[in-house]
């Protein structure tokens, strides 16, 4: 069985590498094109985007005057729930392991260009949304493709392709499998669940491999039940949980991360020098790091950047489309902040921590690298590994909220394809397949996620290019009439 997993993992890695060799350039081009078409909105209107976020955070309640299923902030929280996941902890570490410090620079590029892409996605999501027969909002790439592209044959093909790939990616890729895998791994290793199971089963004389498998199955069952309690309740319940959990988990993770950076502040100048140097020149092997070429840094920077912020995937506009927002531009600006929070703040924090502490040279891949950085550099308290516990809890919350957020994305894609009758069938399948993700290997979960993301992103990126003129017109007309958000009266 292990040999079978190894072969599948190897082939998945090869396929993912081949696809992303070309997807990197497409993402870069689309992000650059949308930056131009929107008048460099992510730079010139970043302050307005922050205002939109703050306004939404202070006014969380739903409005009876505005159309939508949830408040603007709840939509952002749901999108962030799906966006800020273990890609921010394990994914960044994986980028460093394979691509070297230069991958962080290319992750930033992915982030800044992704802000324009996410702005366009969220804006179009609101502009072209519809209503399901039951009165709930139907929105996302499949709807702005169907309603926005004039050639109906092309539109229906692209929309159907996106919905099919979105449903698949939710079930078998980024949605639940990778996140469940990372949660299981960190709870076993850092919170000592595997050791606890070993003590409980010591009288049965089981092999260590069998105990490890049982531990994964037990954790998988617990995680699956927790996911089911939320996902089976639909968007309302998902957004309610996301509004409470997402801001808290981000603040806690950043707070402890900031402590580590302050205690390593003298290393930061050399860290930034290393990032910029390795972004344009090959990074030599050092310590446990095997070395990386510039192309490797670019590829893994973009791959992990997209896996984290999801700009271009077309996933987040499904959540943004459900928002009660004054205008498409308002929600588009909030989309900018989604990427800013995820990539420029949270991912950067993880990257700087692993570089400043030197753990990127330790030869440990994935979440283990970040765990080592926190565990070794945050003082233990009463014998407890506070750093390891912080990463474990963060991993659980990041992964859990991502799973429930992607549950909604996949459901909306399935509804587009099969109608409302598929709602509960999809929810049950999604919850059950979460269990599978908890017991597969980490490499397989990541590579399957990479492949699914690429397949899902392609029709969305084509649509964004074709509808970029519409986004530009909406943006120009809005800011010509309302130079500042406070000038807008709904």
Q: Is residue 166 a contact partner of residue 452, using CB atoms and an 8 Å limit?
A: no
List C-alpha distances in Å: 209 to 26, 162, 205: 43, 40, 12
* Distance of alpha carbon 130 from alpha carbon 143, whole angstroms: 7
List C-alpha distances in Å: 218 to 63, 172, 197, 435: 42, 20, 9, 10
- In this structure, is the dihedral angle defined by the CA atoms of residues 221, 226, 229 and 230, taken in order, positive or negative? negative
- In this structure, is the dihedral angle defined by the CA atoms of residues 279, 284, 286 and 291, taken in order, positive or negative? positive
Which residues neighbour 191 within 8 Å (Cβ) at sequence distance 6 or greater? 389, 392
- In this structure, is the dihedral angle defined by the CA atoms of residues 308, 89, 1 and 195, taken in order, positive or negative? negative
In this prediction the pTM is: 0.89
* Per-residue pLDDT of the chain in tens (490 residues, 90 and over written 9): 677 777 887 888 888 878 877 887 888 899 999 999 999 999 999 999 998 888 877 665 555 567 878 888 888 888 888 788 777 888 899 889 988 999 999 999 989 999 999 999 999 999 999 998 888 899 999 999 999 999 999 999 999 999 998 898 888 877 787 778 778 877 887 677 777 887 887 777 777 778 878 888 899 899 999 999 999 998 889 998 988 888 899 999 999 999 999 999 999 999 999 999 999 998 877 877 877 888 888 878 877 777 678 888 899 999 999 999 999 999 999 999 999 999 999 999 999 999 999 999 888 888 889 989 999 999 988 888 899 889 888 888 888 988 999 999 999 999 999 999 999 999 999 999 888 888 876 666 667 777 877 888 899 999 999 999 999 999 999 999 998 888 887 5
User: Which CATH fold topology does 2-481 show?
Assistant: Amino acid/polyamine transporter I (1.20.1740)
Classified as helix, coil or strand, 425 is helix
pLDDT at 441 (0 to 100): 67
**φ, ψ at 323 (rounded to 5°):** -75, 145
* Distance of alpha carbon 310 from alpha carbon 289, whole angstroms: 27
* Distance of alpha carbon 166 from alpha carbon 418, whole angstroms: 13
pLDDT at 159 (0 to 100): 95
List C-alpha distances in Å: 305 to 101, 153, 164, 387, 398: 14, 33, 23, 24, 16
The conformation of residue 486, written as its DSSP 8-state character, comes to G
pLDDT at 206 (0 to 100): 77
List C-alpha distances in Å: 159 to 163, 187, 420: 6, 39, 17
């Amino acid at each position: 069985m292990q040999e079978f997993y190894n072969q599948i993992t190897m082939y998945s890695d090869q396929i993912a590498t081949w696809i992303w060799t070309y997807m990197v350039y497409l993402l870069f081009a689309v992000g650059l094109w949308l930056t131009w078409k929107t008048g460099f909105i992510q730079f010139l209107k970043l302050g307005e985007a922050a205002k939109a976020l703050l306004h939404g955070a202070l006014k969380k309640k739903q409005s009876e005057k505005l159309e939508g299923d949830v408040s603007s902030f709840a939509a952002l929280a749901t999108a962030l729930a799906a966006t800020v996941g273990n890609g921010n902890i394990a994914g960044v570490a994986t980028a460093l392991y394979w691509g070297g410090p230069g991958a962080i620079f290319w992750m930033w590029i992915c982030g800044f260009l992704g802000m324009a892409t996410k702005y366009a996605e969220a804006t179009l999501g609101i502009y072209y949304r519809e209503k399901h027969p039951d009165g709930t909002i139907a929105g996302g790439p499949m709807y702005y493709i169907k309603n926005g592209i004039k050639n109906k044959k092309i539109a229906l093909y692209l929309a159907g392709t996106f919905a099919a790939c979105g449903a698949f990616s939710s079930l078998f890729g980024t949605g639940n499998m990778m996140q469940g895998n990372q949660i299981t791994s960190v709870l076993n290793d850092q919170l000592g669940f595997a050791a606890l199971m070993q003590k409980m089963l010591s009288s049965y004389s089981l092999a260590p491999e069998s105990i490890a498998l049982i531990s994964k199955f037990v954790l998988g069952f617990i995680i699956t039940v927790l996911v089911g309690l939320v996902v089976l309740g639909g968007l309302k319940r998902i957004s309610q949980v996301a509004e409470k959990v997402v801001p808290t988990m981000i603040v806690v993770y950043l707070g402890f991360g900031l402590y580590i950076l302050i205690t390593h502040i003298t290393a930061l100048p050399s860290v930034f020098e290393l990032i910029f140097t390795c972004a344009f020149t090959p990074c030599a092997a050092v310590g446990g790091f095997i070395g990386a070429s510039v192309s490797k840094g670019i590829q893994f920077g973009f791959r992990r950047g997209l896996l984290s912020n999801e700009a271009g995937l077309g996933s987040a506009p499904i959540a943004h489309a459900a928002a009660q927002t004054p205008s498409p531009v308002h929600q588009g600006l909030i989309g900018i902040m989604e990427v800013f929070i995820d990539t420029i703040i949270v991912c950067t924090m993880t990257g700087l921590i692993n570089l400043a502490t030197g753990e990127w040279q330790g030869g440990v891949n994935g979440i283990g690298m970040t765990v080592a950085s926190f565990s070794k550099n945050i003082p233990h308290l009463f014998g407890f590994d506070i750093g390891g516990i912080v990463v474990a809890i963060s991993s659980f919350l990041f992964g859990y909220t991502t799973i429930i957020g992607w549950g909604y994305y996949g459901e909306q894609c399935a509804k587009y394809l099969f109608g409302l009758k598929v709602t509960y069938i999809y929810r049950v399948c999604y919850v059950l397949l979460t269990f599978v993700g908890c017991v597969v290997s980490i490499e397989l979960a990541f590579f399957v996620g990479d492949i699914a993301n690429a397949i899902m992103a392609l029709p969305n990126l084509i649509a964004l290019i074709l509808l970029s003129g519409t986004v530009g017109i909406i943006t120009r007309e809005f800011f010509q009439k309302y130079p500042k958000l406070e000038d807008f009266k709904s």
